[in-house]
């Protein structure tokens, strides 16, 4: 097979990789992208997109179930609904298929050559790919490593049988009667909440004292309240020990040392993700590491000349939009433009019920940096749009410097609040002050008014509380 020579080789067609390749192609860079699976990576195929589809279906089913109750306050009466999860999964797979085809089309439009198969490094400039027609050798001036991440497997709970990862959870065709979720982070709670709404008896096992330990307790409180309303049992300070002898229960150890068993048809393990750094010849490269991750600088360069790395393989936050931004930047650097990584804000969204959005510094993080802060918080119980959609739990919070009113961070928890993430990031990227947000006219009635009211509150003159 004839050797391919190119200017840019991207390994991995996830969000970071395909964006990097598309942008490079747009800029006239001779680009090749290699992918062992489907274009779109974890996020599109077995992560962000399919999980949000499942969450939406569960939410709709739960709404109709409540409407079948004679006590529905909206006065809507329907028959008791039924859920065909196999059809839901087919619908979800259709969306993934459309997006997957769209990514391939965009790559071709940008004149990017796509090579399908697992890649393995020979050296820092050369890889070999095992394609369906044989071994393809590719040589490149610049290489971008965008291999992503994979679920962490617990030694005591290896994947297989009743023990599943998020990948298998998104392909179940029947709702498990009893689901135990090991790990109370955002992946576990997003999927656990969805299955609870579909009728499963859900128990969450979290080793730390709080679910969603990466968020402050005030943001987590409305989520915990909703879990209780859905009948989800939450066990914190509790360790998963392994399967019972019959394989039909999870053995756990509580904070006081007591051992119990939790009957389960399925055990969903969501204890984090790790960089995908094995199986593609990384040992052939002399790359510095930052713990398990590949160390990079502010231009996503590794310790080897001509080798860049982007996305999950480079560390936290493991978010698709971070990978996309890095991929675009690297493509422009390869094309000769001057770029560097200087992001004030990478928003994070937890698609629980209610949703959580954070951008920038929390109050505690700001204080830990020695900053004196002003904090403004506006509850959705005082927001007309929240009232008319029966979703008043939650709030918007703004954190600003006390001396200059420069906005340092924005947080919110509430129904549909993920759509405010762009406003939060824009305010931080543009260097907004409290007066800028307070002086911006926000449409009424919308949830976004909570952002303006939080800024007004921080300035000392909130209008609706």
- Please tell me which residue in 56, 321, 442, 444 is annotated as part of the active site: 444
Range 369-381 burial, b when 16+ CB lie within 10 A, else e:
eebebbbbbbbbe
User: Is 444 tagged catalytic?
Assistant: yes
Measured from the Cβ of residue 438, the count of other Cβ atoms closer than 10 Å reads: 24
**Catalytic (active-site) positions:** 444
């Amino acid at each position: 097979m004839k050797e391919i020579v190119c200017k840019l080789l991207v390994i991995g067609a996830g969000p970071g990789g395909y964006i990097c390749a598309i942008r490079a192609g747009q800029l006239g860079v001779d680009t090749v992208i290699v992918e062992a699976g489907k274009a779109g990576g974890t996020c599109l195929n077995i992560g962000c997109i399919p999980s949000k589809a499942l969450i939406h279906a569960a939410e709709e089913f739960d709404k109709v179930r409540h409407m079948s109750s004679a006590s529905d306050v909206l006065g809507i009466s329907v028959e008791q609904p039924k859920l065909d999860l196999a059809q839901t999964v087919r619908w979800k797979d259709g969306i993934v298929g459309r997006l997957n085809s769209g990514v391939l089309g965009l790559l071709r439009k940008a004149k990017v050559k796509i090579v399908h198969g697992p890649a393995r490094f020979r050296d820092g400039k050369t890889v070999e790919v095992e394609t369906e027609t044989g071994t393809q050798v590719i040589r490149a001036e610049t290489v971008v490593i965008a291999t992503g991440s994979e679920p962490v497997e617990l030694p005591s709970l290896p994947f297989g049988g009743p023990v599943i990862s998020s990948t298998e959870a998104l392909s179940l065709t029947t709702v498990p009667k009893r689901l135990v979720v090991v790990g109370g982070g955002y992946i576990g709670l997003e999927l656990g909440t969805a299955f609870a709404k579909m009728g499963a008896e859900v128990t969450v096992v979290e080793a730390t004292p709080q679910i969603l330990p990466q968020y402050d307790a005030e943001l987590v409180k409305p989520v915990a309240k909703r879990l209780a309303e859905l009948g989800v049992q939450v066990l914190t300070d509790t360790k998963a020990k392994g399967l019972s002898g019959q394989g039909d229960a999870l053995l756990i150890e509580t904070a006081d040392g007591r051992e119990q068993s939790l009957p389960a048809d399925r055990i969903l393990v969501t204890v984090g993700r790790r960089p995908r750094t094995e199986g593609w010849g990384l040992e052939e490269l002399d790359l510095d590491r930052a713990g398990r991750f590949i160390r990079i600088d502010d231009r996503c360069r590794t310790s080897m000349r001509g080798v860049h790395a982007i996305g999950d393989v480079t560390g936290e936050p493991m978010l698709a939009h971070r990978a996309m931004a890095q991929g675009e930047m690297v493509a422009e650097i390869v094309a000769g433009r001057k770029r560097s990584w200087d992001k004030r804000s990478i928003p994070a969204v937890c698609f629980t019920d209610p949703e959580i959005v954070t951008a920038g510094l929390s109050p505690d993080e700001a204080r830990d940096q020695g900053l004196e802060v002003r904090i403004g918080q506006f509850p959705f119980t005082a927001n007309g749009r929240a009232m008319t959609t029966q979703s008043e739990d939650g709030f918007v919070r703004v954190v600003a410097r006390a001396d200059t009113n420069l906005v340092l961070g924005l947080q919110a928890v509430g129904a549909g609040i993920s759509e405010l993430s762009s406003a939060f990031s824009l305010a931080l990227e543009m260097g907004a002050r409290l007066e800028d947000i307070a002086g911006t006219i926000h449409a009424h009635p919308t949830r976004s008014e909570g952002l303006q009211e939080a800024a007004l509150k921080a300035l000392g003159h909130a209008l609706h509380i």
